[in-house]
Structure 1
């Protein structure tokens, strides 16, 4: 059935509906080595990087180049679990068998492997590399390459470490399979003093908002922490969160373990899942590229969302009817839309229906 589609400009307060985004999926049929996309990154040269269980895929927008185990890469195994793009523009790669590689301006530098799956990497402001592992705790590699290990005996709630972030005060927050802790300036492991819903549960994702407050994504929901001793605020309850990404101060993208992709804006939570084109409901990574494309790593390939130049309006958005016969741009700044079921007016992002029985005509000027 015909609907109305036209170009609209968006402002900071105007966010396109999810249904109006251009959607595209890429998978092994398009050249990816594997459909599980564990990690996403974009380097300064514009290349997009996808980490998979069958190697690293570099994408130039048209084709993929695959990097796997070889003397060039130094990777001990093809499986790649995580990326970290540091403040110097280097791309760190962590592998399924503990491979650790840094890529800078096309040069691959391998470090001694750890022999265990690496879940996350973080180069902090003190140039210390933090390495989260699956079963051997947390490692810190200093600028000289020396490594120090943190285990349960040192205060970790679990030796399965899933997430890392540095806050604005230099604290290193560590999400484990059994709760959240942080390291202070003396690199001592501290547990948050306030009892919190993210204690004793898997913490998979961490992010900082514009105010420097910590968002904590867990198996049981999403929570906002305003400080180590503050009582957390529940943002989403009973939603298993796997990835977090701020598009800007107002828009938060949330990847979930089994419920697809969520977007929060203006107090509203929207959902996009396989029924709306997502290749798989398990989200593993999120990336906003330099052109504001959102890339979503899933278990079924990579998914791209781009703000389309056109928005579509139908009766679901408030049109009187879906069969549009005429459109008029008025000097009052509104758009008037005539359909088989009446006249609608589009003003300031809002569609309403005009009651023609209440309209008077004076000369060529109409007023409602």
Structure 2
């Protein structure tokens, strides 16, 4: 029987906060932590903190970090409470990405980031699913057909790649698959009785998604877990 060994990191070891929102390992082996009070890089020995400084554009746009993703150009994309940032891992330069002018500051939360086709990125945001083009710096809102519009309202709190340029998302009580062409393939409501558990609406909000080795999709909700 294997015994697990844990090392504990907290404020005493240099973390800016005990609230860890996301953890991500880049290809160079560094472990990055998005916290409630800044971005942390851990190289196995030392912790380095990247913080928001309002007057300095070369810093992250907000200290609350929700999501991290490394693309194939050695850029670390950072989803914060106030929009999107990109960190060039080769030069250690951070750039703030201008958000759409019609997005109020409280609507700029980026909960998830995933690769799309043609170098674009899928973004799970507080106003829904978006596509972002790093070259043009343009954001495109993804919208379902009008007949399904009520199923796709509000924030997207969970996002996972389908490994083919598309994504699975969790939006409210809806789980959906959007393919690489931005076409809706499947969607299901977690409120459906045939899924096994009778839950109240407040318990069916999707918060996380994960695939297991058999290809089954696990859905983490505010009131439990479903497959």
Shorter-normalised TM range? 0.7 to 0.9
More helix by share: 2
Work out whether 1:219 is the aligned partner of 2:225. Answer: no
Aligned equivalent of 1:75, options 60, 63, 68: 60
Aligned-residue offset at 1:191: 4.5
**Contact 1:172–1:182 (CA<8 Å) still a contact in 2?**
yes
Larger radius of gyration: 1
Work out whether 1:184 is the aligned partner of 2:184. Answer: no
Counterpart CA distance in 2 for 1:131 and 1:84 is 11
Aligned equivalent of 1:84, options 66, 69, 78: 69
| Structure with larger RCO (C-alpha < 8 A, sep 6+) | 1
CA deviation vs aligned residue, 1:46-99 (integer Å, no higher than 9, x gap): 322111121111122233211112436442222212112335543211111124
Aligned equivalent of 2:133, options 124, 139, 142: 142
What residue is the counterpart of 2:157 in the other structure?
A: 162
Alignment of 1:112-261 (within 5 A): 112-113=98-99, 115=105, 116-134=108-126, 136-143=127-134, 144-150=136-142, 155=149, 156-168=151-163, 170-192=165-187, 197=195, 201-224=204-227
| Gap regions ≥5 residues in structure 1 | 1-14, 225-368
Counterpart CA distance in 2 for 1:61 and 1:95 is 25
**What's the TM-score, normalizing by structure 1?**
0.49
**Contact 2:61–2:96 (CA<8 Å) still a contact in 1?**
no
Counterpart CA distance in 1 for 2:178 and 2:11 is 41
More strand by share: 1
CA deviation vs aligned residue, 1:211-261 (integer Å, no higher than 9, x gap): 43322222333333xxxxxxxxxxxxxxxxxxxxxxxxxxxxxxxxxxxxx
**Contact 1:138–1:159 (CA<8 Å) still a contact in 2?**
no
**What's the TM-score, normalizing by structure 2?**
0.76
| Gap regions ≥5 residues in structure 2 | none
Q: Number of paired residues?
A: 206
* Root mean square deviation, CA, Å: 2.9
**Contact 1:167–1:208 (CA<8 Å) still a contact in 2?**
no
Taking a change above 3 Å as real, the CA distance of residues 64 and 179 of structure 1, as seen in their structure-2 partners, is same
